[in-house]
A = this chain, B = another copy of it.
Amino acid sequence: EVGWTDLDVRAVDTARILAADAVQKVGNGHPGTAMSLAPVAYLLYQNVMKHDPSDPDWLGRDRFVLSCGHSSLTQYIQLYLNGYGLELSDLAALRTWGSLTPGHPEVHHTTGVELTTGPLGSGLATAVGMAMAQRRQRGLLDPDAAPGTSPFDHHIWVLASDGDIMEGVASEASSLAGHQELGNLTLIYDQNYISIEDDTDISFSEDVAKRYEAYGWNAVTVDWREQESYVENIDALFTALEDSKTSDKPTLVLLRTIIAWPAPTAQDTGASHGSALGADEVAATKKLLGFDPDVNFPDDPEVLAHARLVMDRGQAAHAEWDTAYNTWRDANADRATLLDRLLAKELPDGFADAFPVFDADAKGKATRAASGEVLNALADVMPELWGGSADLAGSNNTTMKGEPSFVPASKSTDMFAGNEFGRTLHFGIRENGMGMILSGIALEGLTRPYGGTFLVFSDYMRPAVRLASIQQLPVVYVWTHDSIGLGEDGPTHQPVEHLAALRAIPGLDVIRPADANETAVAWRTALQIHDHPMALALTRQNVPTWDRTEFASADLTEKGGYVLVDAEGGEPDVILIGTGSEVQLAVHARQQLAEQGVRARVVSMPCREWFDAQDQSYRDDVLPPTVRARVSVEAGVAQGWRELVGDAGRIISLDHFGASADYETLFREFGITAEAVAAAATESI
């Protein structure tokens, strides 16, 4: 039905040979899946997906997600055959320094790669976020068009392996995809029964189609192994994929393949998953497929020219889309203006003025509450901002009041009314899934996502956070209940090591504001950042809102660290550095020290990364090298603070797990107090 010619078949076989050759050349890599999925990937790029290789950033394009990122050749070879700019020399440079063809696909590195994959499950889960973002973007820009008629309609195509399906994060995201009825999502699960420990029967015996039906997906099985001999029934796969385009649910296409097909002895073996086939096997495969065994990286101009005809079809589709797009622009001037702003990654007019300023208040306000007020203040100003929580909306203060939930209308509840284009996200108790979905939303490119849970559960979503950092995605994590200050829930819910562990991640900003106004400036600063993720660590408990006529301006939060209140009467004898809820302890200690005649400066340090990015002179102004007596105070592990307090300094920290009690008792019993800070200051001097 798809009507492949001999040249198409030759192109697919060329892809298999290139995969075997590329791995053989570098001596390591994953040839097997790239060989057996060659016809699948070729079908997607040539016959199924809407894309235009001459404009890889085309707004109307479908997205391709290679969740089995180890099989990067599956994509690289199609990017070559389809004319995305990769050439044979790039394939020959696989997995070498500086090449465009690293071991796993990397977004922002290789044209045509939409996301970075490799850690199993992550691509599939991220794809769910892309599918959600497509719907939200469509709702922002073109909500009234009939299904399938909008220039903002596009489809997400995922290739996944056994390992993807086993990972918990795939379960979380797939469950949510079914719930969200994401008809714009198709998952091809390559069931080849092989993983690194060889036959997957050793650890995996699920009925995967049934599992996905239980999530609310369509499940279609295309079994290329059902007959005595292996038959790659392209038409059956094509039909399943085409049908999925108009489904009102996400579709699982469970495709049974033989890994490394048709390599004569390597096929269906675990070794072919992650090792070069060996020169003899590569040569035998070439002979079998009618290629010259002595020619590596075969280059048949006729095959390439045929495959690259896809560019004409893509450009034609693009031109047709352009017409629809321009019609839309003409009819939707305001929305077009919004789109232009979003594409330019500009903030809206009135952005800076939208933020609340909080009055001084000794009783104070939890920074999570301040964060919630900021979000509400931004609701009308910044329609691209949306987010939610992993079932802790009320605790995380992540809901913009009055905004509809992003959920099929039939799934509205008494508490949350929703529709398919809604704004408030409900991730359920699926933190890692949430993290990957936030990345997928950011990768779609038009909107700004945030997501909340307790700081302690940042552990659950750490794989997603790391990938967001690698991919330089402007996601905001809203992590509340940021210390033993959460109190009675006890050690399993109290973060201790998390601030240090998160600061260790390259490219992630960890921001722990000390009061309501620092929280507002933290959000304001964070939303101006477009090239990496940010994490807010927010208190459950109230903290004083400082009088900023008495203390320094909260605008200095954007510097990462600043002199909140200086020593009185001359150069400081000691510098007290705090973050978040512990800054108030430093402020109290300063007072106690003053009564003893000791001059103490208080530095609020909401973001170590932002402070490190300041120039040396600013940093020396805040932390004069001549003042060696220093104390840091943070209700977390000491790790990392020696860098700022130096050999002469003291660190007030919490280097063990917490306990279940009210928070005042915990701070007192664990010695995180103003008195302790003052005593440490005296020691340090």
Instruction: Using CB atoms and an 8 Å cutoff, list the residues of chain A in contact with chain B.
Output: 26, 28-29, 69-70, 95-99, 102-104, 106, 116-121, 162-163, 166-172, 175-176, 178-179, 195-208, 210-211, 213-216, 270, 389, 391-395, 405, 407, 411-416, 418, 426-430, 432-433, 456-457, 459-460, 462-463, 466-467, 469-470, 487-493, 496-497, 500-501, 503-507, 637-640, 642-643, 646-647, 655-657, 659-662, 665-666, 669
Contacts and interface: CB of A to CB of B under 8 A. Distances in A.
Contact of A490 (B106, B391, B394, B432): B106
Contacts of A666: 97
A175 B26 CA distance: 37
Given A196-B392, A199-B413, A490-B104, A95 B661 contact: yes
B490 A201 contact: no
Nearest to A204: B428
Of residues A69, A175, A503, which shows the largest number of chain B Cβ atoms within 10 Å of its Cβ? A175
Nearest to A215: B206
Nearest to A646: B647
B197 A393 contact: yes
Contact of A103 (B205, B488, B642): B488
Given A120-B429, A214-B214, A459-B466, A504 B493 contact: no
A189 to B, nearest CB: 13
11 contacts: A197-B426, A200-B428, A207-B213, A207-B214, A210-B214, A457-B463, A459-B462, A459-B463, A466-B497, A500-B504, A506-B656
Which 8 pairs of residues, A with B, have the shortest CB-CB distance?
A168-B168, A102-B660, A118-B492, A203-B428, A97-B661, A171-B171, A199-B413, A497-B504
Contacts of A172: 166-168, 171
Contacts of A430: 166-168
Contact of A69 (B29, B179, B211, B492): B492
A205 B215 CA distance: 7
B168 A169 contact: yes
B500 A500 contact: yes
A395 B197 CA distance: 10
Contacts of A669: 97
A499 to B, nearest CB: 9
Given A28-B488, A214-B214, A457-B463, 13 more contacts: A29-B488, A104-B489, A116-B491, A118-B489, A166-B430, A167-B168, A168-B169, A168-B172, A175-B206, A197-B415, A203-B428, A500-B639, A504-B504
Nearest to A636: B504
A197 B389 contact: yes
Given A270-B415, A637-B504, A426 B467 contact: no
Nearest to A654: B506
A96 B661 contact: yes
Contacts of A69: 492
Contacts of A210: 210-211, 213-214
Nearest to A465: B459
A497 B463 CA distance: 12
A428 to B, nearest CB: 4
Contacts of A391: 163, 166, 195-197, 203
B175 A413 contact: no
Given A213-B210, A492-B470, A202 B500 contact: no
B492 A497 contact: no
Given A646-B647, A657-B470, A203 B426 contact: yes
Of residues A69, A106, A205, A469, which shows the largest number of chain B Cβ atoms within 10 Å of its Cβ? A205
A427 B503 contact: no
Given A99-B660, A501-B501, A669-B97, A490 B206 contact: no
A627 to B, nearest CB: 13
Given A166-B430, A639-B503, A202 B407 contact: yes
Contacts of A176: 203
A503 to B, nearest CB: 7
A118 B202 contact: no
A168 B433 contact: yes
Contact of A414 (B198, B393, B660): B198
Contact of A175 (B166, B196, B202, B460): B166
Contacts of A199: 413-415
A172 B201 CA distance: 15
Contact of A106 (B119, B411, B414, B491): B491
Contacts of A119: 456-457, 460, 492-493
A366 to B, nearest CB: 15
A97 B202 contact: no
A129 to B, nearest CB: 15
A298 B69 CA distance: 60
Contacts of A659: 97, 102
A259 to B, nearest CB: 14
B413 A202 contact: yes
Of residues A172, A210, A214, A394, which shows the largest number of chain B Cβ atoms within 10 Å of its Cβ? A214
Contacts of A456: 119
Contacts of A26: 488
A163 B496 CA distance: 23
A668 to B, nearest CB: 9
A601 B395 CA distance: 53
Nearest to A167: B429
Contact of A163 (B166, B204, B429): B429
B204 A215 contact: no
A197 B416 contact: yes
A101 to B, nearest CB: 8
A559 to B, nearest CB: 21
Contacts of A466: 459, 497
